[in-house]
Amino acid sequence: MSELLDRESLKAEAAKRVGNAQAVRRFDVPVVVDEQKCIKGCRICIDSCPVDCLAVNPATGKSHMAFDECWYCLACEIDCPKDAITVKIPFLLR
Amino acid sequence: MQESILEADIVVVGGGSAGSTAAIRAQQGLPKGRVILLEKAHIKRSGAIAIGMDGLNNAIIPGHATPEQYVKEITMANDGIVNQRAIWQYAVNSYSMIEELDRWGVKFQKTETGDFDVKKVHHRGSYVLPMPEGYDLKKILTRVLKRSGVNIVNRVMATRLLLDGERVVGVLGFDTRDGNFVVIRAKAVILCCGASGRLGLPASGYLYGTYENPANAGDGYSLAYQAGAELTGIECFQINPLIKDYNGPACAYVTGPLGGHTVNARGHRFIESDYWSGHMMLEFYRELHSERGPVFLKLDHLAPETITEIERVLHRTERPSRGRFHQGRGNQYADDWVEMHISEIGLCSGHSGSGVWVNERAETSVPGLYSAGDMACVPHNYLLGALTYGKLAAESALEFVRDAPPSEGEREQIDAERQRVFAPLSRPAGIPHHQYEYKLRRLVNDYLQPPKSENRLRAGLAHFTRASEELEQLGAESPHELMRVMETHMIRDCAEMAARASLFRRESRWGLYHYRQDMPEMDNENWFCHVNLRRGANGEMELFKRAVAPYVVPLDESELRGYHGLRIGRPAAAEALGA
């Protein structure tokens, strides 16, 4: 028994000092960009976003929601000159 | 990382409503001078009114209301703890701001005879001026700003104010896109950074599902505090009645004048006035947690054309996505009541009375530092207060810079700040900002959300102290993540301020905003005063009382309690909290 406790207390100390490990998980995000309509090089929606959660997708050159930080304010959707954006209510609130 | 150095006569931090008029007015006063407007987002869609606003909540229009009436009403709504001179200054200067907005092209609702169409929402007077086409407001402000000649710097986050002894002489921060460190030297700084709207965690659990624009993370509160400025009324939280889950305003200000109202689950009205005050929120809280809860906005008794009018306003301005929220759930105003709730707490003077201590000239307690808008304490100042006080702040700053010598600031401070800000980039595998923020804000809910008590507040404070050490573990991989990390520093500062100020005021006041279960009575003998706080010389937070300045508009004892007992049909004291 005391051996177990010793081990636990050693591991508890180790847990305080050990480095960080990471895992990645998917998020469903509210801003959906129609890549057929979105124009390369146009950054209007990226400028509009008050929380800066949109960015150019390096894979396509089109805009996408890069960070799960949307306020569903619709600025990007309203300002898009090509009607390429649809904002959904974030799933947690929907 | 590069360092960019800018110089200005006046720098305005925050390009929302207050910051826009501050920068415009400052540039008007310095036609050849250098005015910089620093914005963390982009001025075309920043601040609390990114998508416009559906009305002015506190318009004092000749023929409808007088400054005396307004000052009295706001004093009442705040249980007397106000600097009346600051409210008076708003009351007498705001009508000319409306006229200026009118000239800029903002469309206000007018009657057939061309008069402003003022509505009654407050308990006593009529101050609500609808702007059914208010979605243009932010665009109009941006247009006027661009014409003014102000140097607009977007996507730069201010992290500390630059000091020279006790005087503020600039702003330090970084570009959230390219990561460059930014030093702006200026003779005067005007902080217009909005509310501390990311303090509590929304009931939905979604970090950015806040009532306030989540970019308003309390940056200004932290910047002012760290520069030694006094803050006041921090214990007078912002708590709003909101659409459940969606967290936008249910909008009694729009629907009330058209016949909508708040009801309990039986369909009965229970509050006299839908105007947002701490006493109204206390009755709302009681109803919500009683067997008569939840609480709803009721519109189904209105004529179809009235409902269409309401939708036309609510689904186009302020929070236009509410339309698709209701539609997504298959609800419509004609058939379904809109469920409401209480969600996260925040700090905000625009809605409540928590902010940076300013006088009627928008001067803070620190030389060279001015503040306006939601973060500057002029209670219930709202949008028109932000626009009006932005101008007043600029006028005071213009006077100050006339004789103020330029200053380089302290090089040591600049170097130390550069190190502090970029430290998380050296820990890319550190704790991610969103996990830290979730925990911090969940603890804010657990321990600070009213009703408050000494035991819970003390436990919360211990968590926020530990959270200060945990900041050292946060990591960032990009300038964007660094922005979110630096925001968590500011949110933590606000949480500590909120806990300490709530502990310091040993009574209950402002209804739900500062409801202490362990001290449920208002105690005017000991606590008819402001509670202010500042960073003390030893770096610890100091709290102290400040006397309420003599009133400009006197109120007698019964008028001071004018906002008590907002419950319909029964005195407020007859029912225990939560019963």
| Cβ atoms within 10 Å, residue A22 | 8
Count: domains in chain A: 1
Same domain, B336 and B245: yes
Kindly report the nearest CA distance between residue A38 and chain B, in angstroms: 20
Same domain, B17 and B142: yes
Tell me: the pLDDT tens digits for B518-573? 999 999 999 999 999 999 989 999 999 999 999 999 999 999 998 998 898 754 44
Q: Is the pLDDT of residue B28 over 50?
A: yes
Contact B213 A70 (CB under 8 A): no
Query: Which of B544, B366, B541, B421 is closest to B158 using CA atoms?
Result: B421
Are B492 and B467 within 8 A, CB to CB?
yes
Nearest to B41 among A52, A90, A93 (CB): A52
Distances (CA, A) of A41 to A35, A38, B45: 13, 9, 20
Same domain, B327 and B358: no
**Could you check whether the bond before residue B451 is cis, i.e. omega within 30 degrees of 0?**
yes
Kindly report the nearest CA distance between residue A74 and chain B, in angstroms: 7
> What is the reported pLDDT for B13?
98
Structural domain of A41: 29-87
pLDDT band for position B252 (50/70/90)?
confident
Residue B44, Cβ density class (10 Å: 0-12 exposed, 13-18 middle, ≥19 buried): buried
Search chain B and give the residue with CA nearest A66. Answer: B480
Helix axes B219-226, B479-504, angle to 10 degrees: 70
Q: Tell me which amino acid residue B288 is.
A: L
> What is the reported pLDDT for A79?
97
Please determine, for the modelled complex, whether the ipTM score is greater than 0.90. Answer: yes
Q: Does B176 touch chain A (CB under 8 A)?
A: yes
Contact B213 A50 (CB under 8 A): yes
Contact B246 A75 (CB under 8 A): no
Domain containing residue A69: CATH number: 3.30.70.20
Contact A70 B208 (CB under 8 A): yes
Q: Is the pLDDT of residue B503 over 80?
A: yes
Query: Which of B346, B361, B357 is closest to B379 using CA atoms?
Result: B357
Evaluated on CA atoms B516, B198, B52, B188, the torsion sign reads positive
Is A79 inside a domain boundary?
yes
Q: How far is CA B330 from the centre of its chain?
A: 32
Q: pTM for the complete prediction?
A: 0.97
Are B324 and A89 within 8 A, CB to CB?
yes
Instruction: Show Cβ contacts of residue B99 under 8 Å, excluding neighbours closer than 6 positions.
Output: none
Is B124 inside a domain boundary?
no
For residues B239-258, give the mean pLDDT: 91
Domain containing residue B286: CATH number: 3.90.700.10
Contact B51 A72 (CB under 8 A): no
Are B168 and B162 within 8 A, CB to CB?
yes
Is A12 inside a domain boundary?
no
Is B424 inside a domain boundary?
yes
Backbone angles phi, psi at B107, to 5 degrees: -95, 115
Q: Please provide the size of chain B in residues.
A: 579
pLDDT band for position B274 (50/70/90)?
confident
Q: Does B203 touch chain A (CB under 8 A)?
A: no
**Could you check whether the bond before residue B294 is cis, i.e. omega within 30 degrees of 0?**
yes
Search chain B and give the residue with CA nearest A76. Answer: B45
Same domain, B308 and B332: yes
Residue with tokens 């964007």: B480
For strands B338-342 and B355-356, give the pairing.
unpaired
Same domain, B328 and B369: no
pLDDT band for position A1 (50/70/90)?
low
Q: How far is CA B385 from the centre of its chain?
A: 11
> DSSP string spanning B503-560?
HHS-S-BTGGGB-BTTS-S--HHHH-EEEEEEE-TTSSEEEEEEEPPPPSS---HHHH
**Residue B430 corresponds to which tokens in the numbers above?**
């550190």
Kindly report the nearest CA distance between residue A66 and chain B, in angstroms: 10
Q: Which positions 414-443 of B are in contact with A (Cβ < 8 Å)?
A: 429-431, 434
Is A33 inside a domain boundary?
yes
Tell me: the pLDDT tens digits for B337-391? 999 999 999 999 999 999 999 999 999 999 999 999 999 999 999 999 999 999 9
> What is the reported pLDDT for B574?
45
Structural domain of B284: 241-343+563-574
Backbone angles phi, psi at B243, to 5 degrees: -65, 125
Kindly report the nearest CA distance between residue B428 and chain A, in angstroms: 10
Count: domains in chain B: 3
B176, B208, B341: best mutation site toward chain A, by most A Cβ within 10 Å? Answer: B208
Instruction: Show Cβ contacts of residue B566 under 8 Å, excluding neighbours closer than 6 positions.
Output: B123, B271, B272, B273, B277, B279, B280, B283, B572
Query: Which of B48, B46, B54, B513 is closest to B251 using CA atoms?
Result: B54
Same domain, B365 and B446: no
Is B323 inside a domain boundary?
yes
Is A63 inside a domain boundary?
yes
Contact B45 A93 (CB under 8 A): no
> What is the reported pLDDT for B578?
42
Is B115 inside a domain boundary?
no
> What is the reported pLDDT for B576?
46
**Residue A83 corresponds to which tokens in the numbers above?**
């009607």
Residues in chain A closer than 8 A to B154 (CB atoms) = 47
How much is the mean pLDDT over chain B?
95
Residues in chain A closer than 8 A to B213 (CB atoms) = 50-51, 71, 73
